[in-house]
Amino acid sequence: MEGYHTDQKDRLLDFLGQNTTRQFKMEEIVSALDGKVGKSTVYRLMRSLVEEGRVRRFELGRAIYYQYLSGASCDSHLHLKCTVCGRMQHLDCSVSTFLRRQILATNRFQLDDRLTLLFGLCADCREKSPEISERKSHA
Amino acid sequence: MEGYHTDQKDRLLDFLGQNTTRQFKMEEIVSALDGKVGKSTVYRLMRSLVEEGRVRRFELGRAIYYQYLSGASCDSHLHLKCTVCGRMQHLDCSVSTFLRRQILATNRFQLDDRLTLLFGLCADCREKSPEISERKSHA
DNA sequence: CTAGTTGCAAAGAGTTTGCATGGCG
DNA sequence: CGCCATGCAAACTCTTTGCAACTAG
């Protein structure tokens, strides 16, 4: 959050600082700021925070559809989405189930496959741009 | 896809039947149907397929933001976010590493911990609302 | 003073809906 | 023939952008 120091930035940063463990929808942030910061300003500030790597934004702008394969044999697998090419692939059912059990066992956390999207680099994109896969866990 | 049998339904089903392993954005479906099926019809048909459980739709209509928890001792662990209480917890480093290796081994997909958020129900919320955890993996 | 920042309103992108027309059975 | 399905355009929702007014340094 470079640039000038303004009241609006203060308020937003304050709010975020007091809620480090939650995630927010835009409308929640805006209403929490109680009309003190304009909507478009919040959008702009949030975007700059994302660009600075301080905040992560989940978004799929448009919907994505995929078919359930072979009936209802497996309706619970995870999805992997490549951050470079954008393509999605399925994580094998048995592997998904295995991971789900792992997480349940270690954290007593019940994973929701439907909501969860795993981001990363697919095989093709790793080959094409090894330098990206090097620094993959940075902003 | 109950109701009347129409040319539009045929075309859409044909297209999907020939592409069972891919996922699509709306515009791809519409353009693949080459103007033969109106956009709103495709929306309607896709929605009914989703309701029938034949297709899954990924969507986040609106963006969701969350903050990177800085200064973490271990920079390679996954985050679990409870969809009910909103709280976030860390998945143990060693477990995270294990999962990452699993996914790399099975799908040659390099998971990005920084970008990935796992959604589901935390232990507390599972206890409080068992009915939610029952039906969690359905459409 | 000057450049970055803000807020309004308008523009965009994606999706849904109202309504009259047209097609299935 | 009656009802459902379709297609167009308008409505909606969320987000971005243009622009004039404002403000930090």
- Considering the domain boundaries, does residue A1 fall inside one? no
The CATH number assigned to the domain holding A38 equals 1.10.10.10
> Highest mean pLDDT: which of A14-23, A67-76, A122-131, B97-106?
B97-106
The neighbouring-strand residues paired with B90 are B79
Nucleotides on strand C with an atom closer than 7 A to protein CB?
4-10, 13-18, 23-25
Report the nucleotide nearest the CA of residue A40, measured to C1'.
C7
Q: Which residue of B has its CA nearest to A130?
A: B110
Helix (H) / strand (E) element for B89: namely strand B88-90
Q: Tokens representing B73?
A: 């001792």
Name which of A55, A82, A88 is nearest B66 (Cβ-Cβ): A55
- C-beta separation of B83 from B118 below 8 A: no
The neighbouring-strand residues paired with A56 are B66
* B115 interfacial to chain A (CB closer than 8 Å): yes
Give the closest residue to B125 by CA, choosing from A20, A39, A110, A88: A110
* Window 63-82 of chain B: CB closer than 7 A to strand D: 63
Q: pLDDT class for A77, splitting at 50, 70, 90? A: confident
Task: Round the average pLDDT of chain A to a whole number and report it.
Answer: 82
Q: Which residue is nearest to nucleotide C23 (CA to C1')?
A: B6
- C-beta separation of A81 from A91 below 8 A: no
Integer CA distances (angstroms), B114 to A54, A138, B32, B100, in order: 11, 8, 35, 12
pLDDT at A70 > cutoff 90: no
How many Cβ atoms sit within 10 Å of the Cβ of residue B119? Answer: 20
Pairwise CA distance, residues A3 & A23, whole Å: 26
How many Cβ atoms sit within 10 Å of the Cβ of residue A63? Answer: 17
Residues B23 and B44 in one domain: yes
pLDDT at B29 > cutoff 90: yes
The neighbouring-strand residues paired with A58 are B64
Residue with the larger pLDDT of the pair B28 and A72: B28
Residues A64 and A85 in one domain: no
Residues B37 and B84 in one domain: no
Helices (H) and strands (E) in chain B, counts: 6, 7
Contact check, Cβ <8 Å, B112/A83: yes
- Considering the domain boundaries, does residue A106 fall inside one? yes
Residues B90 and B41 in one domain: no
* A18 interfacial to chain B (CB closer than 8 Å): no
How many Cβ atoms sit within 10 Å of the Cβ of residue A114? Answer: 19
Structural domain that includes position B83: 79-138
Q: Which residue of B has its CA nearest to A74?
A: B137
- Considering the domain boundaries, does residue B103 fall inside one? yes
Q: Within the 36-95 window of chain A, which residues sit less than 8 Å (CB to CB) from chain B?
A: 46, 50, 53-60, 62-69, 72, 75-76, 79-80, 82-83, 88-89, 91-92, 95
Predicted TM-score of the model (pTM): 0.73
Q: pLDDT class for A139, splitting at 50, 70, 90? A: very low
pLDDT at residue number B118: 86
Residue with the larger pLDDT of the pair A7 and B64: A7
